[in-house]
Amino acid sequence: MLSTACKDALRAMIYIAKQKLNGRDKFISINEIAGELDLSFYFLSKILQQLVKAGFLESYRGPNGGVRLAKDPEDIKIIDIVATIDGLSFFTDCVLGLDECCDENPCPLHQKWVDKREDIYELFSGTSLKDILEDINKLKYVKL
């Protein structure tokens, strides 16, 4: 249900946060991130620009340029990244795309979807980049 851009943003932010937590607080080139995550450089550049504009990353141009976290990994929640890239309509709009769907005038999936949507919102709101990295470190075969 998340866009490709949002999934790529999450993967890139996790990669950048992992570098920071491993003691590498230098700027990371977008070429490196794109190569490591097998993403399009140009598509990733546009995504990262949005995250820079939102204040989650800082960027630097030049031979040693790139991006790095502007905040600590524990201060960046998954919901912040989702909101920046996709917005929050996933958590407010009808799952079937109907304009009139609400508690008073529900679509056929409304009652089942509302609770799940709230659970996902709470999961994303309560999970930071640091939390994800701690979980990744517990798993052997996770590849971003």
**pLDDT tens digits for range 42-57:** 999 999 999 999 999 9
| 102 located within any domain | no
| 144 located within any domain | no
Range of the domain at 26: 4-86+128-138
Give the confidence band of 28 by pLDDT, cuts at 50, 70, 90.
very high
pLDDT of residue 140: 63
Q: Based on the structure, what is the number of domains in the chain? A: 1
**CATH assignment at residue 69:** 1.10.10.10
| 56 located within any domain | yes
pLDDT of residue 16: 96
In whole numbers, what is the pLDDT of the chain averaged over residues?
A: 92
| 107 located within any domain | no
| 117 located within any domain | no
Give the confidence band of 67 by pLDDT, cuts at 50, 70, 90.
very high
| 110 located within any domain | no
| 79 located within any domain | yes
* Cα 121 from Cα 125, distance rounded (Å): 6
Rounded mean pLDDT, 74-95: 95
| 30 located within any domain | yes
